[in-house]
Structure 1
Amino acid sequence: MLYNLLAPLADQHQVFNLFRYLTFRTGGATMTALFIAFVLGPSLIRWLKSRQRGGQPIREDGPESHLLTKKGTPTMGGLLILIGLSVSTLLWANLANPYVWAVLLVTIGFGAIGFGDDWLKLTRRNSKGLPGRLKLVFQIAIGTAATLGIASTVAEPLTFGVAVPFFKDVLIQLSWFFVPFAVFVMVGASNAVNLTDGLDGLAIVPVMIAGGCFALIAYLSGNAVFANYLQIHHVPGAGELAVLCGALVGAGLGFLWFNAPPAMVFMGDTGSLSLGGALGAISVVTKHELVLAIIGGLFVLETVSVIVQVASFKLTGRRVFRMAPLHHHFEKKGWQEPTIVIRFWIIAIVLALIGLATLKLR
């Protein structure tokens, strides 16, 4: 909004020229989202506690320690992230950019699904919320709408193309199969982050790391000079998503202040589904869907551990891991929660650096 209001005045007042710079607005979005989270955090947590007398329902089949350490902690803290991210993006982004609205649709839409899931868990006082199939239907519907909007904006030959990392000229044309592929990326990323969200601070830091990486990717992809130099596909207008990524990082930092061990609040599905969906949608716009699997490799590992566990048990009756997702396996092995969280953060940083290396190694 500030860009649309103030950038046109730059010719009359030079100070307003700052709003033409993506880097300035990205920094502004980051700090605004952080400020909103700090200001709203305490009152929102008090409100959540007043509405959730018993806190988030804890899985009875989960690690035994959670019944003691996590009991009474309120959930739906993802509202704090959603408010900070949405308000900051609307304030600092170019609202005439269709990519901003497409990603916001996925972010807020998936967040609404997560909110409904969290609300049912609380009102029913058990760890089961919305039926899995119903959540999936809603996610697919929102993802399809966003994908069609993105595809109608991206110019040929990128419209239905999938770029391959490490290869500068490879663009796989999927035709209309691109729509289910893009929806799979958004829904898969959303649920992968959801599976990772099981320990204090475990999910939000890798999400911020991925958000920071995609802020850079969006900026470079949207800049013709840098895109040509790096030999990545130029997507005009994609740079505006750097502002949204900055807001994501700022809101995530603010949430982490309250989610740091021992957590005062959990993000719940409200936060995890929305953040994963946002990363998936941004990767679709910037044509870095496959790079997301590298940068977000930690989320992939967590998801694969669940798939392997379920498949092994159904086929052989035996479990590969002591418990899935993967972080629970290490809890069962006796690792302390801070140890697991910090080591997983390190893995996320390493994978992010590998993902960023694909921008140059071609």
Structure 2
Amino acid sequence: MIKFWIIPPLILIAALVISALTSAALTQLAIRGGPVDRPRARGSHRTPTATSGGMAIMAATALGIGLLSLLLHSQLPRDGGHGFALLIYAVLLGLSGALDDIFALNAKFKLIFQIVLSLGFAAAYPIVQIDFGFGASISLWPWLGMIGTALWLVLGLNTINFMDGSNGLAIGSQSIALGLMVIMIIVLGPLSSKSFDAAGLLLICACALGAHLGFLPFNLPLGKVFQGDAGSLFGGALITGGVLLMVHAGVTSLWLGGYVLAPLLVDVLLTLALRAKSGARLFEAHKDHLYQQWLIHKDPSHLNMALRVWALCAFSGAVGLLMRYIHIETGVNLRFVALVALFWLLAAGWLWLRYKISADSAVKTA
């Protein structure tokens, strides 16, 4: 039962529709006149494809927010500038991604820029209290909380960026995460004494969700355009930074970030561990992610791959929602324990599939 609407439902619907239609229209411009990503060894596409779809997503999100804020400002609660801070953070990262899409920036330079920007955002919204449930919690020194928060931001950003190598996979996963955040703010936001601190974030997530959905059909199934680093970094910043704003507003705990990105995080972390063990360069482009190996050796269908990952993301998010519901109804906080169990389950599945792919490949080459 929704206690009250932080933002009227008709405005949220308008945000979705306006941003979706705007995104679809701007994506057409990206397809016809934007930069092109040509086939290369680490890519999974075989024809030159427009790669500035992320700019269409960013522009549609910003236009949706601007239009609704201008026309309906009296019906939108003030959030103290928190949403604006997140939007600036996300746009700056998205623009850096757009430059990378065009000029192929140095990987270390990009990482340094992300770290500096994330430290600035983390300084405003640090996580200094970690609750593990069952009365176990720790308090962090402010400087340590800021560093840890920045690490989360950088990890989340690059997780989505690394997983954006198959049509629909990342953009659909981002949409699921944004949708989950919208639902949680609508339902759980009114239960917090600082509920209106999440008002700006709710409008941003609704507009961003619409922009993602308006773009998605042109990426999958049509395969005419990629979101590029502009889209993955912009979306990643909204999700990772949005989680921090939700914690700040008392809507959820920091573990939400793990739930919304769990399947992607497991693949990225285990792939990096595997490459580190083999002595491979971590900053070098590669095709070692499980989804890439599956496309190469098992099933080349991008649609099938996207559906599998979307299902995992939806399941992971549903577990997070269930744990939050249990906490509200019973007072028993299982969120951290359930997240650890979820990560172990996903990791076990990852290792089994990786072993199966390697074994099947060895048989074929024997």
TM-score (norm 1): 0.77
Letter in 1 for 2:37: Q
Q: What is aligned with 1:149?
A: 124
1:221 shift after superposition: 4.9
1:344 aligns with 2:309: yes
Q: For 1:358, what is the secondary structure of its paired residue?
A: helix
Query: What is the rounded CA distance, in whole Å, between the counterparts of 2:200 and 2:25 in structure 1?
Result: 26
Q: What is aligned with 1:4?
A: none
Query: What is the rounded CA distance, in whole Å, between the counterparts of 2:319 and 2:274 in structure 1?
Result: 27
Q: 1:56 aligns with which of 37, 44, 53?
A: 37
Question: Is contact 1:219–1:241 with CA below 8 Å preserved after alignment?
Answer: no
Q: What is aligned with 2:274?
A: 309
4+ aligned runs moved over 6 Å, structure 1: none
* Cα deviation 1:64-91 (Å, max 9, x = unaligned): xx3x3xx211102100110111221233
Stretch of structure 1 that moved more, 261-270 or 335-344: 335-344
Letter in 2 for 1:112: L
1:38-187 maps to which residues of 2 (within 5 A)? 38-48=24-34, 52=35, 55-62=36-43, 66=45, 68=46, 71-92=47-68, 94=76, 97-120=80-103, 129-150=104-125, 160-164=128-132, 167=133, 172-176=138-142, 177-187=144-154
Question: Is contact 1:22–1:239 with CA below 8 Å preserved after alignment?
Answer: no
Unaligned runs of 5+ residues in structure 1 are: 1-18, 121-128, 152-158, 229-233
Q: What is aligned with 1:241?
A: 201
Q: 1:300 aligns with which of 250, 265, 268?
A: 265
Judging changes above 3 Å, is the alpha-carbon distance between structure 1 residues 35 and 170 closer, same or farther for their aligned structure 2 residues?
Answer: farther
Q: What is aligned with 2:18?
A: 32
* Percentage of identical aligned residues: 22
Query: What is the rounded CA distance, in whole Å, between the counterparts of 1:264 and 1:251 in structure 2?
Result: 17
Q: 1:326 aligns with which of 290, 313, 330?
A: 290
Q: What is aligned with 1:14?
A: none
Q: What is aligned with 1:196?
A: 163
Aligned-pair Cα RMSD in Å: 2.6
Question: Is contact 1:29–1:92 with CA below 8 Å preserved after alignment?
Answer: yes
Judging changes above 3 Å, is the alpha-carbon distance between structure 1 residues 163 and 117 closer, same or farther for their aligned structure 2 residues?
Answer: farther
1:216 aligns with 2:183: yes
1:2-17 maps to which residues of 2 (within 5 A)? none
Query: What is the rounded CA distance, in whole Å, between the counterparts of 1:170 and 1:27 in structure 2?
Result: 40
Q: For 1:237, what is the secondary structure of its paired residue?
A: helix
Q: For 2:235, what is the secondary structure of its paired residue?
A: helix
Question: Is contact 2:6–2:195 with CA below 8 Å preserved after alignment?
Answer: no
Query: What is the rounded CA distance, in whole Å, between the counterparts of 2:120 and 2:161 in structure 1?
Result: 22
Unaligned runs of 5+ residues in structure 2 are: 70-75, 248-252, 327-332, 334-366
Query: What is the rounded CA distance, in whole Å, between the counterparts of 2:7 and 2:305 in structure 1?
Result: 39
Query: What is the rounded CA distance, in whole Å, between the counterparts of 1:170 and 1:83 in structure 2?
Result: 43
1:264 aligns with 2:224: yes
Judging changes above 3 Å, is the alpha-carbon distance between structure 1 residues 75 and 350 closer, same or farther for their aligned structure 2 residues?
Answer: same
Question: Is contact 1:111–1:270 with CA below 8 Å preserved after alignment?
Answer: yes
Question: Is contact 1:196–1:203 with CA below 8 Å preserved after alignment?
Answer: yes
1:205 shift after superposition: 0.9
Q: What is aligned with 1:125?
A: none
Q: 1:285 aligns with which of 228, 245, 251?
A: 245
Length, aligned pairs only: 306
TM-score (norm 2): 0.76
Q: What is aligned with 2:9?
A: 23
Judging changes above 3 Å, is the alpha-carbon distance between structure 1 residues 216 and 313 closer, same or farther for their aligned structure 2 residues?
Answer: same
1:133 shift after superposition: 1.7
Question: Is contact 2:176–2:310 with CA below 8 Å preserved after alignment?
Answer: no
* Cα deviation 1:89-137 (Å, max 9, x = unaligned): 23335566321112102210110110111111xxxxxxxx212221111
Judging changes above 3 Å, is the alpha-carbon distance between structure 1 residues 352 and 342 closer, same or farther for their aligned structure 2 residues?
Answer: same
Judging changes above 3 Å, is the alpha-carbon distance between structure 1 residues 85 and 62 closer, same or farther for their aligned structure 2 residues?
Answer: closer
1:170 shift after superposition: 5.9
